[in-house]
Structures are given as structure tokens and as C-alpha cells.
Structure 1
């Protein structure tokens, strides 16, 4: 606002200063290096030194279900945070595989992740009988002074069923309020458990007053080590177990017994840092308005069904992060590129020409998609004879209805990659948990590839399913096909008969299709041939794309009793059984067109023999056309780019395999 010398208003100007959070510089074990000159910015008052403080968070996470839960926790933290973070996960082998893959593909700026083997810590707590559903992993927070790096001074410890409603830096700042003697920060327990009045003869472990809940803990590791924490909690547990015989609430009982003996060591946190929504809680007395809340703790196996007058608010908060698009959390914090964006990826992006008509296709090839392996419980026991075969396929939400039928037709292991958004993944979870067929099948590995970009990265998704097959052989199929009954056993026998272990063979499973949504599925080859003659079944795509399967030689297959070899021809794209270490699919092909053709071409280039199985078949079930095939048919630009990618693939094949690959280019030009 401008005034003249007589204090009369002359003009008004509104100046908006937009302060965007920029990315933190690369991190090395908590040390912040300076930004390179190219991205240095003048200091801003909005970014204080505290903003750059590295916050350490620890979680114990074991198994498939906990690995899913912890993702929602991490999303809620990332959504609100303005600081670099270092997550420390104490994991079993399952959670390690899932979370290491997830964070590596997530590429969140200014986030470090470290893993610690829970198996190495089991001996520290396995001597403690525990009745809590968390089992031995529910006791492992007691071992953190030993498990975490010796130079780590402080850490926030969280259960996996926590949701943050504020910046975790506010919780970290409470460490500054500790007195010189305080080593543990906890919220008072909001149930009557430790008062011992929940039922007749209820005898809980000793606790200070109402006791404390260990879903959220501030651990001053440096001080805990100094006072001999490891020996102190052990002596406490040994003493109490003489009368209590076992823990009922895992580590929480031991923490409380320790605090009862050493109350000066605890710093009581305000209760809104751990609003506990289990049965028998008095959490509503903890806050006046829901806007006061900082952390919601769903500490009940019943999760969202607990009783609370604000449960709808809590449920919506939880569901927000459960279905939140994790790609949005990749944003940089302070403007400088972080180590999450690798140099090779950055270089590949810079090499792309944005004026190229096929820029979007080329960018898709180098897009890094988040991957959550083994989204559901998975159990697989290897066959002892090294002949086992995994059915490998990919799908999106619109093919979900095929899963139950495939499981009924194929009893062997299955590796499925599902291309979905975060919200769709939760819909799939509910679908699978409600299906009697799916929830009783534990040998199906479901791997979520999260949506990003405008194309369906079909070959990338296929490769995720292929890489995570756990058998010597794989049956590379599509999810809209039903295998014949008994195909699993037949393929295992064929692997032996054709000496697949010592030869390079690709076993072709002949493909057929029906236009009927309801089909009386043939139980034998003879029945299938009869249905072919009656026009109930057809050879696959005979009316729109004959070349795709013509080399299978269906006329010969009708009377064949032994496997027969066929030669590669242009555009051949059969469904095959090969060794698991076969070439991967070429990820430049996205959406519709040439995604399987290019793979079969490379198998041929590597001199795989294509052997058609005489007593095997699969049938394609009808469905609405995909969005990608519609784009292919309607967009000249799409078809032009696909042709360009084909030509580049041929060139790359020639460089890789030399003169032997010239036949593919010749065959393509003769079409």
C-alpha cells in the first residue's frame, strides 16, 4: 500500500510470494551434503535448520499382512512430512523382499531405508512366552538398542497400524523436552487393561497407574545404552515371568513392568500422540475436537469396527491414506534432485527428444513403476523333482473376474502381476478376501504394479510376474485364457519327456477361443475337436489375426499324438512353456501390438526349438476390447509409433545376434 507525504493512499498492490517446498540434498546416514551449484538457492526464512533435521523411524514388520499395513503408515508420514526421513525396518525374509522392492521402485526423495534381520534377534526374546497375536515379533522392540546402529542416538518407534494426521517432526521435537534422566517417551494406556478390572480374576502385569501403550515410542537410544537397558529389561522380564508365566500384550507388558520400577525414566507424551481405538478404550476422553489429534492407533484386530463416536472420521482418515496415490509422494522437498532419482534415469530422460512424435512411448520405457510384491499371503513348497511349472500372467481391474476360473483350472503355482491404482489394489484385496476360491489358494503370488503414465506397460508387468515365479519352468499365458483341466500335470510330464532340463525348447500350448460367455468346457482333446467342428470353438484369432497362431499348424495338431517341431514365422505369438531364465519381454512395447511377437522372436534368435504339444490346449474367453486396442485402431499416430518401435527392435536384435537375426528383418519387409 503506497501513501504520499500527506499520508493519503495512492495505490494498493497485492504481492503473492509462493514458497514451494524444495527437495533436500542427497543423504548419507544422516549427513546432509550441500546442493550442487546448478540447484543452489538463496536461503529462505521459511526453511529453518530444524526443517533439515533427519528423523529416524523404526518399525518391526513381518509377513505379508504387516507389509501391507506399513505402507499405509508410511504414506501418512510422507504426506505430512517436511523433513528427510530414515526408516529402519526389522523384518523377516518375506517383509524384507516386499519392502526392499517397494522402496527401491517407489524412489521417494529424501528417504533412506535400512533393513535388519529379525531372525538374528529371535534368540534375544524367544525365551519369553507370549500369548499376544503378534507372536515373537511383538517382543522385538525390546531389542532395538542392539539391532539399530550404535551411533544412532534417537528413534521414533511405531506399530504398523498407526496413521499420522500431522507432521512427524512435531513428535521428534518432543525429544528436546526430555529431562536428563528420561529415556522413553510414551502415551498413557487408554484402556482399563492394567487396572485389572476388565473381568473376574483378571491379573495384568504391573504398571504405573493405567500403564503406557507402546504403539508409539520415543526411544533415546544413546541414554538407554548408557544405563544398560538390555540387562535391565531382561531382569525385569525374568522376575515377572516367575509369577505371570507369559506376556499377554507382548513388549508392552515388559515396558510397563520396567517403568513401574523406574518411573523417573519415562516421559509421558500427550495422549493425542497415540489415540488408541481398541476395545475397552477411553480414547474419547483424550481430546476435545478431532482436529486436536496427531496419531490414530488402530490397535485391534477388528480395525475399523471399533466403537467410538468419531469412528467415521478415523475411518475416512485411514482410508484416505490406504487408497492415496503413492506416486504423488515422490515430490521433491527442497528443489535439489535427491539420490532417489538415479543418475542413469536422469540421463535417460535428458536424452529423450520432447519434439519426437513418439516421445510418450519412449518415456514409458524408462518410467519406474512402484511394485508391491506378494500383496497377499503366499506359500509355495517346491516340488522335489525339479519339474514344477508356474503359470505366469498379467491383468488389470477389468479382468479380475477371470481369477477364480483360472484357479479352478490350474492347481499349480501361479505368478500374477496386477496393473492397478492404489485404490484398485484395495478393491482387489477385498475381492480376494471375500472369494472362497482365492482365499484358500496360497500358491498364487499377486504382485501389484502401480499405475503411472498413459499407456499400459504390458511387457513390464509381464516381467514382474516372470521374475517372481519360483519354479524351474514357467507357462507364459494371458489371464483371459482358461487352461484345459489337467494341463499342470501334463506340462510337468512333458518337461521330463522332452528333456527340457538339458535342451532349449519352448513348448507351444495350442490356443483356441469361444465367442460364448457361457461355455461347457471340453474335458478332452476329442471333445474340443467336436466343438471345433460344430463351430462352438475356433482356433484363436482365426478371423482377425490368423498369422499370430497359424505356425502352430492346427491341421497337424488334430491328429498328432507326439510333440512336433514348428518353425518361426513372422508375427508368430504362441503361448509357451520355457525355463524360468528365458529372455524377458521387451519393455519398449506398451499397450497393444507386438508385445508377445517380439518375445517369441527373441526366443527363436536364441535357438529355442518350438515344440507343439499334441494333447494340450487353452481357450480364450470373450471380453470387451481393451482401451489400448481401441487407441491402436483409432489413432494413426499410435500405429506409426508402433511401426517405428518394431524397426528399432529389429535393429537392436541384429546388433545383439548378428547375421542370424537378418531373417526377421527380411520377413517383416515381405509382409
Structure 2
């Protein structure tokens, strides 16, 4: 199976995990010589003589593999300097093969030099539209993030339809199902299998590796995957491809009728042991085989009784080994330290990995020309809606934005939340982009409860955010903050779509709908929970208004009480929010009454009212036709009022807006008359839709709009 012999595969960056069981099982099940297994049958291996003979056979085979790999390395070293051209259809100008001194000054090799180079034979071809199956075991937040980079590299090079099979826990299932549904990549199918149902299959095996039980689940794939699936490529989540995965798939055609598993020998001498005193990486013969990339002929494995075979082997080996251990390959991008390894190709590997880490996934939504369309019903519906738009409409860009499907990566970082027993818990819900990132630490200090944040970012910005969060002592110690990435696409900021992502992924009965540039008063979380009980929000449709204030100072001694805030208002260091530029937005809060209020009081809806409120999680979503600046919160409060929510102002609650530079969208609104005209058009259409939805009760909004 000399995979390394293949020039186009030698750049395949594998962060691969080696399981001792599969090292033995490869020799047992996957490599037959002259029609017989190189290992003795279990029933014949009970005698000491048989065990000695079996050990000798294994040693002989290992020596053969060592010699084969030595010859491969020799061939590769001789072929340095030959650039193997990529197959037709690959994108970009990748350098295939290593480059050495070219000899003549003009950079051309002589004919004699060219004849001395050894090129590995090309991999067997794959049919043009043949479906390639890929399986991954993926559990948790971090692995779900890693697998995206793997998928990007596969999609970048691929020319065939793909079917990904993910064995996932609950967390990874939620993340990846949402991601692929919103990614909408043509000719890509995705199936999920419950890892919890497979745990009992391998939980009895003691394992010392950090991957735990999930590292052993590859043994169960013949049972986990569909019975009619004949073969599959099994990958670790932290792999990056440098060529078309079809080249791996084509190797199945080289299998003899008695070969069932394809593996690569570990390349590092670390696996041989004896690098230092008492260095014993594992009790395997030679380097062992690497299971980060496996070719499994499932149909044949089932036929030879794979499940019974690996179980019997495991039971026998555990009698002497006591537990299994896994090992990592040299180039293995599953931790920051691995990026600093010493290897002559490390710069290429590092750059390749970082390229796909920050690569714009939207660019991978390209059709496979010449293959039958495999569009999902959602894709067909979206295409139909887009075709119905009038491109001559002055507001075409706004209408198209409403139909844009943005990729969404839920729970980008580790998230842990334990529900409270009294069902009064409240999640702070907000959205932000890269220019508001500095607010996160302050909000976490002011609000100790759960938080749901949707971040509108590019792929590259998402990685910058990741580094920022991991370096922050405040953020990395807060596990009850859900960070959801909505990837950038289009020319407008889809503010209400981003808000809805944060809202829909709140896990508490109540939500505090706010903006990220506001700091809640200290203790607001506990005060709001008490107010929820006091106002019986479980049985009444109420929206609790948190009065909003602002400061023009970047450094503020934050008030610790209502009395202190009122004093700062009187001294001019604080103001009621937007009193000088947009008084209608918050005037109905009735700040004069709030100054002396000691109990919650009800206020009536007025045009353009946009307070920050606490409501039940099942409240209406934000209207996604409103993008960029203008009417995005106003429309939401209007619908709350249409659904007969009572607006109750809390007497001892407040929040303060911190100063920042104006957003790009507000600049467009102020400078573009067409922008403002389209916003008015969208307002009129929203009013009409509201009237159709809520009947005569919604006529007051249209009347109020016309009287303005």
C-alpha cells in the first residue's frame, strides 16, 4: 500500500492517530500473502510454540515493510527537483513535488538529469461523477471547529460528489448539522450517526490517550455506517488535504480481493523507541501503522467477521498490555505547539493549514459541472425565490439580502451551561462584529449569567476572534457564553438575521435583548430574575424595559446604584440615550417618572420606540428584511406590541451605552438617498404585512406612520 510513493499524496498533511489494535489488525485482516493470513488463527495460537512462530512471522513482515519504506524514501530523495504537474481541474498554481537545485543557471534540468529522476506512477483514476464517501468521528466543540478546516481543504480540490458520514456526540451534531445546512454546498451529502449508541461497543477497552473513547470508535464503523455502504475513507478531524481526495479513493482499485484495510506506516523514528532512556512509546513491532487516514473496504470486512475479529484480538492483547495507547505523528496540527515542530517541509505544511483555516468557505459553493445536480429542496426553493426578484427594482439589493443564506457555526468555542431549578434564568442576547470585540470582557464582568452572542465575521476574522478569546483571562474562564459565528456575505450587515441566531440559541426561559455596546448595571442579572417572578412573566405576556443611558466619555466611573446614576445625570456626565439625536427611540420610557419610581410601571407603544427588553424566549423573531441601519429594533418592538405584550419599565434597572466610532452602515444611511428611500419602502411593506398578520389591531401602526 505504498501511499507515500504517490507524488500527489506525499503533500497530504496528516495529523493522524495510531491505534495499536489496528496495527495488529491491519496485518491480520488487510494483508494476505499467497492467499493466507500472516497471523495464526486465534484457535491455533494458544500453544507457546505457536506464539513464538506467530511472533517470528510478524517480525519478518515488519522487516519487509521497513525495507519497502526505505526504498520509497530513497526514490523520493532521488526525485527531489522534479515538479509533478497537478491533474487537470486543480485550482491555483500549487507546486507539486519538492524542489531542489536545478543545476544550470537558467533553471532548466538537462535531459540526463531528467532521465535520472524517478516519478511514482499515477494513482488509479476515479470515474468523473463517482460518489466518494468520507467518515469522521467528531465529538465536542473543538473537534467540530477542526473538522471545518478539513472539509474546506477537501472541497477546494475535489472534482467528485461527496458524502460525509459524521459519528458525533450531541454537541457536534448540533454544530455540524446547522453548519452544513446553511453552507449549502452543491453535490455534498451529510449523514450523522449517534456516537452515544456506539460507546458500549468500545467502552470496555481501557485507553490512556486524550481522545478517550472516541479514538476507538473507528473500530465500530462496519456496524455504525449503512450496511449497503461498501467502502469509505476514514479521516481524523485535524487533517489538511493538499490534493484531490479522489486520489485516495482510487487506491481502492488497487486492492486485491483479499485486502480490506489501507494504512500508512508511521514515519517518525519516535515510534521505534530508544530515543532516550526508558523511551517506550508503545509495545508494537516497528513504527506501527497510522490510523489518521484509513481506507476501509466495509463490504469485505463484514464478510470476514470484522467485529468478532477485533474484539477477540483486543481481549487477547489487553491481557498483557492492560490498556491501549495512541500516538501522534510528527506533523499534527492539533495543538499550537505542533505548529513549531522542526521539519524541512514545515513551512509548507503550516502555510497550507493556515490558508484553509482562514479560507472563505463561501467560495466553495461551486457546482460540479458535468455531474447530475444534487440540489437540496432548500437550495431549489432559494433559487426559485431569487429568480422571482426583479433586478430592475431600485431596492433589489435589499430584497436579495433577505434571501441570502449565511453560513452559521454555532458554539464556536467551548460552551457549558447548567439550567437553574427555578426556571427564571435569563440569557443576555446580542450581536457584534469585529469592531466591537473590545466590549466582550466588560460585558462579562457586568453580567454573570449566560450570554448568547452572534458574531458577524469573515473566516479570517473568526480566527482572529478565536486567538483573542483564548488569550483573554476573562473570556477563557467564562464557559456559559455561547459564541455563534455568522459568516460574512453580501454588501449589507444582516443585523436582524444575526440577532435571530443569538436569540434562537439561548438556552434559558427568558432573554434580555440588548446591544453589545451597552454595559448592564452591576447586579442586573439577579434583579431581572427577581422581576420575572414578581411580574409573573411565566403566565403573562410582558416585556420588561431596562432604561438606557449613555456617556460620551471613554473612561467612566460606572455608577453602582440608581442614586449614583441620577447624580451623574444631574452633573452632565451621563445622558438619557440618544436624547440629542433620536429622542423618539426612548422617550416613551418616561425618564422623568423613572427618577422617582419604586415599582414597575406600564408605558404605551409610540412610533419609533425601540427599548431594550426582557421577554420570554418564545417571543417573535426580528424581521430580517431590515439590514444595515434603520428600523431593525423598531419593527421588533412593534410586533411585540401587536402581540399584546405589556411594556413594563423597571424602576431600579439601567444600562449605559459606551462611546464608539459610527458604524459603516449608518454612514451609508446618511450619505445615500437611495438607501433611505429603500428603507421607507421596506417600512411600508412591513406595515402591510403586519396588518395582514394581525388584522385591524395593527391599523394603528400604519395610521401613526402616515401622521408622522
Q: 2:36 is matched with which residue? A: none
CA offsets, 1:378-429, max 9 Å, x none? Answer: 0000010000000000000000000000000000000000000000000000
1:198 positional shift = 3.7
1:196 positional shift = 3.2
1:211 positional shift = 1.3
Alignment of 1:192-203 (within 5 A): 192-203=269-280
Tell me, yes or no, if the aligned pair for 1:2 and 1:9 is still in contact at 8 Å.
no
Query: Is residue 205 of structure 2 the alignment partner of residue 170 of structure 1?
Result: no
> Relative to structure 1, is the Cα distance of residues 596 and 175 closer, same or farther in structure 2, using a 3 angstrom cutoff?
same
CA offsets, 1:152-198, max 9 Å, x none? Answer: 01100001110000000011000111112111111111123542324
Q: 2:217 is matched with which residue? A: 140
> Relative to structure 1, is the Cα distance of residues 7 and 565 closer, same or farther in structure 2, using a 3 angstrom cutoff?
closer
1:373 positional shift = 0.0
Q: 1:304 is matched with which residue? A: 339
> Relative to structure 1, is the Cα distance of residues 336 and 181 closer, same or farther in structure 2, using a 3 angstrom cutoff?
closer
For 1:7 and 1:67, the matched residues in 2 are separated by: 25
For 1:658 and 1:127, the matched residues in 2 are separated by: 62
> Relative to structure 1, is the Cα distance of residues 518 and 172 closer, same or farther in structure 2, using a 3 angstrom cutoff?
same
For 2:492 and 2:13, the matched residues in 1 are separated by: 52
1:346 positional shift = 1.5
For 2:610 and 2:10, the matched residues in 1 are separated by: 82
Tell me, yes or no, if the aligned pair for 1:565 and 1:611 is still in contact at 8 Å.
yes
For 1:248 and 1:16, the matched residues in 2 are separated by: 9
For 1:8 and 1:582, the matched residues in 2 are separated by: 54
CA offsets, 1:303-358, max 9 Å, x none? Answer: 31222122121111001000000000001111678444646711211110000000
> Relative to structure 1, is the Cα distance of residues 299 and 384 closer, same or farther in structure 2, using a 3 angstrom cutoff?
closer
> Relative to structure 1, is the Cα distance of residues 376 and 13 closer, same or farther in structure 2, using a 3 angstrom cutoff?
closer
Tell me, yes or no, if the aligned pair for 1:369 and 1:450 is still in contact at 8 Å.
yes
In structure 2, runs of 5+ residues without a counterpart are 22-43, 49-120
CA offsets, 1:476-525, max 9 Å, x none? Answer: 00000000000000000000000000000000000000000000000000
CA offsets, 1:243-283, max 9 Å, x none? Answer: 1111110899xxxxxxxxxxxxxxxxxxxxxxxxxxxxxxx
1:12 positional shift = 49
For 1:5 and 1:391, the matched residues in 2 are separated by: 53
Q: 1:627 aligns with which of 642, 646, 664?
A: 664
Alignment of 1:165-244 (within 5 A): 165-244=242-321
> Relative to structure 1, is the Cα distance of residues 123 and 587 closer, same or farther in structure 2, using a 3 angstrom cutoff?
same
> Relative to structure 1, is the Cα distance of residues 524 and 328 closer, same or farther in structure 2, using a 3 angstrom cutoff?
same
SS across alignment from 2:149: helix
> Relative to structure 1, is the Cα distance of residues 236 and 196 closer, same or farther in structure 2, using a 3 angstrom cutoff?
farther
1:10 positional shift = 50
For 1:449 and 1:5, the matched residues in 2 are separated by: 38
> Relative to structure 1, is the Cα distance of residues 372 and 612 closer, same or farther in structure 2, using a 3 angstrom cutoff?
same
For 1:621 and 1:6, the matched residues in 2 are separated by: 54
Which segment drifts farther, 129-138 or 387-396?
129-138
Which segment drifts farther, 191-200 or 1-10?
1-10
For 2:617 and 2:167, the matched residues in 1 are separated by: 31
CA offsets, 1:61-102, max 9 Å, x none? Answer: 000000000000000000000000000000000000000000
For 2:15 and 2:539, the matched residues in 1 are separated by: 81
For 1:229 and 1:164, the matched residues in 2 are separated by: 29
In structure 1, runs of 5+ residues without a counterpart are 20-31, 37-42, 253-294
> Relative to structure 1, is the Cα distance of residues 299 and 346 closer, same or farther in structure 2, using a 3 angstrom cutoff?
closer
For 1:240 and 1:8, the matched residues in 2 are separated by: 33
CA offsets, 1:552-602, max 9 Å, x none? Answer: 000000000000000000000000000000000000000000000000000
- For normalisation by structure 2, the TM-score amounts to 0.80
Tell me, yes or no, if the aligned pair for 1:130 and 1:250 is still in contact at 8 Å.
no
Q: 1:546 is matched with which residue? A: 583
For 2:263 and 2:11, the matched residues in 1 are separated by: 56
Alignment of 1:526-565 (within 5 A): 526-565=563-602
> Relative to structure 1, is the Cα distance of residues 143 and 199 closer, same or farther in structure 2, using a 3 angstrom cutoff?
farther
> Relative to structure 1, is the Cα distance of residues 251 and 223 closer, same or farther in structure 2, using a 3 angstrom cutoff?
farther
- For normalisation by structure 1, the TM-score amounts to 0.85
Q: 1:515 aligns with which of 552, 563, 570?
A: 552
SS across alignment from 1:16: strand
Q: 2:12 aligns with which of 10, 13, 16?
A: 10
Tell me, yes or no, if the aligned pair for 2:452 and 2:503 is still in contact at 8 Å.
yes
> Relative to structure 1, is the Cα distance of residues 509 and 196 closer, same or farther in structure 2, using a 3 angstrom cutoff?
same
> Relative to structure 1, is the Cα distance of residues 191 and 355 closer, same or farther in structure 2, using a 3 angstrom cutoff?
same
SS across alignment from 1:68: helix
1:302 positional shift = 2.8
For 1:14 and 1:187, the matched residues in 2 are separated by: 10
For 1:450 and 1:10, the matched residues in 2 are separated by: 28
Query: Is residue 194 of structure 2 the alignment partner of residue 117 of structure 1?
Result: yes
Tell me, yes or no, if the aligned pair for 1:58 and 1:87 is still in contact at 8 Å.
yes
SS across alignment from 1:216: strand
> Relative to structure 1, is the Cα distance of residues 123 and 569 closer, same or farther in structure 2, using a 3 angstrom cutoff?
same
Tell me, yes or no, if the aligned pair for 2:545 and 2:613 is still in contact at 8 Å.
yes
SS across alignment from 2:18: coil
1:144 positional shift = 0.5
CA offsets, 1:181-223, max 9 Å, x none? Answer: 1111111111235423244344454545321111111011111
For 1:667 and 1:34, the matched residues in 2 are separated by: 91
> Relative to structure 1, is the Cα distance of residues 540 and 216 closer, same or farther in structure 2, using a 3 angstrom cutoff?
same
1:234 positional shift = 1.0
> Relative to structure 1, is the Cα distance of residues 382 and 178 closer, same or farther in structure 2, using a 3 angstrom cutoff?
same
For 1:34 and 1:111, the matched residues in 2 are separated by: 49
For 2:15 and 2:288, the matched residues in 1 are separated by: 58
For 1:228 and 1:357, the matched residues in 2 are separated by: 66
Tell me, yes or no, if the aligned pair for 2:19 and 2:290 is still in contact at 8 Å.
no
Tell me, yes or no, if the aligned pair for 1:473 and 1:578 is still in contact at 8 Å.
yes
For 1:329 and 1:215, the matched residues in 2 are separated by: 24
Which segment drifts farther, 659-668 or 201-210?
201-210
> Relative to structure 1, is the Cα distance of residues 497 and 196 closer, same or farther in structure 2, using a 3 angstrom cutoff?
same
> Relative to structure 1, is the Cα distance of residues 93 and 668 closer, same or farther in structure 2, using a 3 angstrom cutoff?
same
For 1:15 and 1:231, the matched residues in 2 are separated by: 23
For 1:321 and 1:498, the matched residues in 2 are separated by: 51
Q: 1:250 aligns with which of 305, 327, 341?
A: 327
Tell me, yes or no, if the aligned pair for 2:232 and 2:298 is still in contact at 8 Å.
yes
Q: 2:375 is matched with which residue? A: 340
1:6 positional shift = 47
